[in-house]
Amino acid sequence: MSSALLIAAIAEAPEAAEPTAFWLNPGGWVALAVLIVFALLIWKKVPAAVGRALDSKIALIRDQLAEAESLRKEAEALKAEYETKASSAESDREALLDRARHEAEEIVAKAKHDAEMLIERRTRMAEDKIAAEERSAIEQLRSTAADAAAKAAAKIIAERHDASTDAKLVDQAIKEIAGR
């Protein structure tokens, strides 16, 4: 049979009397069973057990929230500590840079001073060397001039003096040497 024929047959059938047991139809029995189940649940204190289970779950969630709050506070404290360390590191970096700049300036000033002293010392050495060379050149020039003068004097004396004049001069030089 098709479903349309089945629906038509049910609609045309006369109303049948519903069977009852102890004056209850099937819907009444279902209601009574639900009431008995609820009574048993209340008698066995199931709602209290459910309440206790929910209370323990709430307590567990509260503990987790408290732990999360303490962890958040600890994280904030760590964040503040690291921010302090970061700012301290920044100021330390600035101090190190300032100290390094100051040391670099001192090194440059010392190097400049040392270079000036070296230049001055080398200049003095060069001047002393030039002065020594000048003295040496003057001594050599004097020596050469003295030799040339002695040779020229000897030549002039040899040309102008004869043997008797030479003997007189030699005698006179000997007397002067002896007198001294």
Give the confidence band of 15 by pLDDT, cuts at 50, 70, 90. low
Burial class (CB in 10 A: 0-12, 13-18, 19+), 171: exposed
**The pLDDT value given to residue 5:** 60
In a domain, residue 128? The reply is yes
In a domain, residue 106? The reply is yes
**The pLDDT value given to residue 104:** 92
Give the confidence band of 18 by pLDDT, cuts at 50, 70, 90. low
Reply yes or no on whether the pLDDT at 14 is more than 60: no
**The pLDDT value given to residue 89:** 86
In a domain, residue 138? The reply is yes
What is the tally of structural domains in the chain? Answer: 1
In a domain, residue 173? The reply is no
In a domain, residue 57? The reply is yes
Using one digit for the tens of pLDDT, what is the confidence trace for 94-115? 889 999 999 999 999 999 999 9
How much is the pTM? 0.36
In a domain, residue 115? The reply is yes
* pLDDT, averaged across the chain: 83
C-alpha angle 54/57/63, rounded to 5°? 140
Window from 3-7, 34-38, 86-90, 145-149 with minimum mean pLDDT: 3-7
Mean pLDDT on 120-131: 91
C-alpha angle 26/32/37, rounded to 5°? 130
Reply yes or no on whether the pLDDT at 26 is more than 60: yes
Q: Which amino acid is present at 77?
A: A
Residue bearing the bigger pLDDT, 107 or 21: 107
In a domain, residue 36? The reply is no
In a domain, residue 107? The reply is yes
**The pLDDT value given to residue 9:** 55
Range of the domain at 83: 44-150
**The pLDDT value given to residue 72:** 94
